[in-house]
Amino acid sequence: MTHCAAKSGGYNPPPMPTEVITEIAALTAVEGEWLDLCHRTPDATPFQTPMWLLPWWRAFGSDDLTVIAARDETGLRSLAPLYVIRDDDESLGLFIGTGISDYLDILGDPALVMPELAEIHCQLWDLQQLRPSSAALQTPLPDGWSENIEDQEPCPTLSISGAVPELENLISTHFRKKIRYYRRALERLGDVIVETPAPDTLDDLLTAFFDLHTARWKRRNLPGVLADETAQRFHREVAPRMLAQGMLRMYATRVAGRIVAVFYGFALHGTVYYYLSGYDPDLEKLSIGTLIVAHAIEEAVRDGATTFDFLRGAEEYKYAWGATDRMNRRRQLVRG
């Protein structure tokens, strides 16, 4: 469903000092209070944290960094991590992280930064991957602006509140039997160990993850999203930063000492986010991909998480776990 409207009048922005950060050094300098704001914002995701967005800008950023920060005497109250692409007389504003980030948003109260956003020279703000609960979808427009709001992509999510680690009350008996069968089949190949990264082992696990993910896609004659050196460099910066903050969820399955599958995800505010995985394509018949996801869900339950988020994409296997769609939305703000 698409909603188009022109709105004006009745918009009284709250009086709060704002600044526009245009240099990466200045943005890095506010990392501490930015992270604190993420912890204070219950619906913030790992994709709005400085551990994700600062590396994204260093790897993929271009044109004009345009981050709007609103503060009062208590500290940072809202942060809009934006940038503007300029081409001759045309300009397009986007969230930092657009493209490879599954959820994007303005941290804190969007109304605190909207007046400053309206003053920036930009013809179109294309705010993508907003969750349906995002306040940025509802914030009134300044005078002279119009908007377009539309559905974007589904993100299947699984409620694991009240589940037990054995998943008895989460999936069917038949599904649990299949998982046990494949686990026993894997054990017949050698000792099976699932390990988590430490600072001194993380880099090796990332290399195995990149290799396994790429090998799987090569079987389909496709490069995969991790074949690019820039993407790998980005994740090599993200992963240790997430690990240091306790937000990394990474599990590597070894069989007879060899890594055969890796789960790569993140966690914040009671939700575990399944970003990517890689596994040995020769073991696909043993459902090695299902086994590594099962382990991640079991660990999420043990950690007390309430939601397991499969992120963007309507792949069939996500619904086999009982996940249901949550539709991301897109809000485009047009000047004039």
pLDDT per position as a tens digit, 147-199: 999 999 999 999 999 999 889 889 999 999 999 999 999 999 999 999 999 99
Are the CB atoms for 321 and 293 separated by under 8 Å?
yes
pLDDT of residue 224: 84
* Neighbour tally for 319: CB within 10 Å: 14
pLDDT of residue 6: 40
| pTM score above 0.85 | yes
Q: Which residue has the tokens 């299949």?
A: 178
Please enumerate in sequence order all residues whose Cβ is within 8 A of that of 50, keeping only pairs 6 or more positions apart, or say none. Answer: 28, 31, 34, 35, 38, 241
Closest CA relative to residue 275, chosen from 284, 267, 266? 266
Taking 80 as the threshold, does the pLDDT of residue 2 lie above it? Answer: no
For 284-324, how does the pLDDT look when each residue is reduced to its tens digit (9 = 90+)? Answer: 999 999 999 999 999 999 999 999 999 999 999 999 999 99
Average pLDDT over residues 330-335: 96
Domains of the chain: 3-153+328-335 (3.40.630), 161-305 (3.40.630.30)
Please enumerate in sequence order all residues whose Cβ is within 8 A of that of 156, keeping only pairs 6 or more positions apart, or say none. Answer: 310, 313, 314, 318, 319, 323, 324, 325, 326
| 202: its two tokens | 């993380």
Question: Phi/psi zone of residue 224: left (φ > 0), alpha (ψ -120 to 50 degrees), beta?
Answer: left
pLDDT of residue 316: 95
* Neighbour tally for 256: CB within 10 Å: 10
The number of C-alpha atoms within 13 Å of 109 and in the hemisphere containing its C-beta is: 14
For 53-107, how does the pLDDT look when each residue is reduced to its tens digit (9 = 90+)? Answer: 999 999 999 999 999 999 998 889 999 999 999 998 899 999 999 999 999 999 9
